[in-house]
Structure formats: C-alpha cells, structure tokens
Amino acid sequence: MLEIQERFDTVGYEHLNSAAEELHITEALDSGRPIGFIAYSYGKEQTTVHDYDDGGDLMLCDGLVRSVMFKSALKGIENMLFQLPDEEKYTPLRRLRFLQGDSKLCENLDSFMNGCESCGKK
C-alpha cells in the first residue's frame, strides 16, 4: 500500500543538506519501503523544492508534489519554486501542468489545489 509521509530527519538524504538551512523530506513508501521522495524548504513567500525522485512514475510525481502543495497552502504560502539539480526533472512537472513554459515557479497554490475539486464530477 502506498503512503506519503513526512520524515522528521534527513538521515539518508545528507547529500541534500546543503540545499537549504531547514530541509524537509517527504517520502513515498510502499509496504514501508521508500520508493520516492521530495525535498523542500519553506520560506515566507514560497516553498522551494530542491529535488525529488519518483522512479519515473508520473503519478507518484503528482502525489509527491501535491502533498507539498497542500502543506504549503495550509501555511498560507501561495508559490512553489522548483530549483532542481537536473533539467530533465522539469519535464514531468510540465506534463502535469505544475509549471508552464520555461517557468520554474508554480503560483497561486490554493487556487491550483481547489481547481481539482470538480475533477471527480467530470
């Protein structure tokens, strides 16, 4: 069973520690085994995503990003900036429409999340 859970340490993710002063990690777990992650930090005006690994699974990418969007929106943060180490990681984000064109900023997170409310009715 797939679960998405925030970690409360960065053990195993030390290579990302230099990316932000207060790094947060959320993992995707399958039967307790990590199969993906997203690393991010909160700022006053935006959440910054420093890296993610979805194992090539577009739906897992969607779930990881939406979990951080949701937590950001709850904190009143309206923007998410992607500062990823690999340019290829932007392609799935554009396919999922988190990013438009060459932009690395997803704006108005609360509106973006609420835009999905009617998806189940279609």
Average of per-residue pLDDT values in the chain: 88
C-alpha span between 27 and 122 (Å, rounded): 30
C-alpha span between 49 and 47 (Å, rounded): 7
Q: Tens of pLDDT along 65-117?
A: 999 999 999 999 999 999 999 999 999 999 999 999 999 999 988 766 665 54
Compute the Cα dihedral for 64, 67, 71, 73 and give only its sign.
positive
Q: Domain residues of the chain, as ranges? A: 2-115
- Tell the CATH topology of 2-115: Aminopeptidase (3.40.630)
pLDDT above 50 (res 121): no
pLDDT, average across residues 53-69:
96
Residue 114: predicted pLDDT: 66
